[in-house]
Amino acid sequence: MTTETTVTTSTPDVATGARVDRTTGAGFVTAALQSARRTVLQFFRTPQLLMLGTVQGALFLFMFRYIFGGAINPGEGIDYVDFLVPGFLASGILWLGMPAATGVAEDAATGVHDRLRSLPIPRASIMFGRSLADTALTGWGLLVTTVLAFIVGFRLDAGVGEVLLAVVLLIVMAYCFMWVFISIGLTSKSAQAATGTCTLLIVPLAFVSAAYVPGDSLPGWMQPVANHQPFTVFSNALRSLTLGGADRVGLGHNTAYWVALSLVWCAGILLVFGTIAVSRFARRR
């Protein structure tokens, strides 16, 4: 163990063969992958998380499709199940992302973050790894929901390119919004507090929107917010792409408009909440 050379900043020499007395810490990619791996293992080995992340979407889908669905009229020439599914998937980002916030808050409260922050690694890598893993887990839940959606009667009316674009867009939206959940986790004092904050955020975002019902069926005073908030935009973008055009979703814009606006929202959310999360985690109190 050496104590001299206090001046040089350490260079990450990848001395795998040569014996080194001092470890110099993992690089960004390794650290991010380790962090991601931990999150994924946690999910698939914790029955409650796995159940919630897999079955929750199915439950709600059945509820909307068969219980509320009969009472909702999405407009002429379109079945409610077709109208519902794209919005349901968009709002699924919200419900499926919640465990990320509680997981992060729990790691902060139980000293996991202190341990990680005491290691010689780029601190941003840990949250970056989490964001990838949690997005993948959301993707898992969305995949299960999608399969079910086809079983309960959802049918696409779009070309391969549009469907692919919809899938990519959904993943991008999930990824960007994941940083909101990570930020909530990092700024909450406990997992319970994080759950509370998430609920307060998710319920209005999911329901005061065009995710489950046509935007123009909401009360007039609600519409200015509902028609412009990101989850209405996301829902409409996915509807435009999967149902054969924006004229099927109302609100009088074309597909490119909804897709572009979605991407703008994504970029803004990522910028703001990515910055909050990374600086919050890396900061020395």
- The residues binding other proteins (CB under 8 A) are 1, 3-4, 6, 9-10, 12, 16, 22-26, 30-31, 34, 37-38, 41-42, 45-46, 110-112, 114-121, 284-285
Give whichever of 192 and 254 is closer to other proteins, judged by the CB atom: 192
Give whichever of 10 and 254 is closer to other proteins, judged by the CB atom: 10
Give the C-alpha separation, 127 to 31, whole Å.
10
> Residue 175 CB, nearest distance to other proteins (Å)?
23
Instruction: Return all residues near 84 (Cβ < 8 A) that are at least 6 apart.
Output: 64, 65, 69, 74, 154, 212
Give whichever of 122 and 139 is closer to other proteins, judged by the CB atom: 122
> Residue 16 CB, nearest distance to other proteins (Å)?
5
> Residue 119 CB, nearest distance to other proteins (Å)?
5
Give whichever of 10 and 279 is closer to other proteins, judged by the CB atom: 10
> Residue 271 CB, nearest distance to other proteins (Å)?
26
Give whichever of 10 and 275 is closer to other proteins, judged by the CB atom: 10
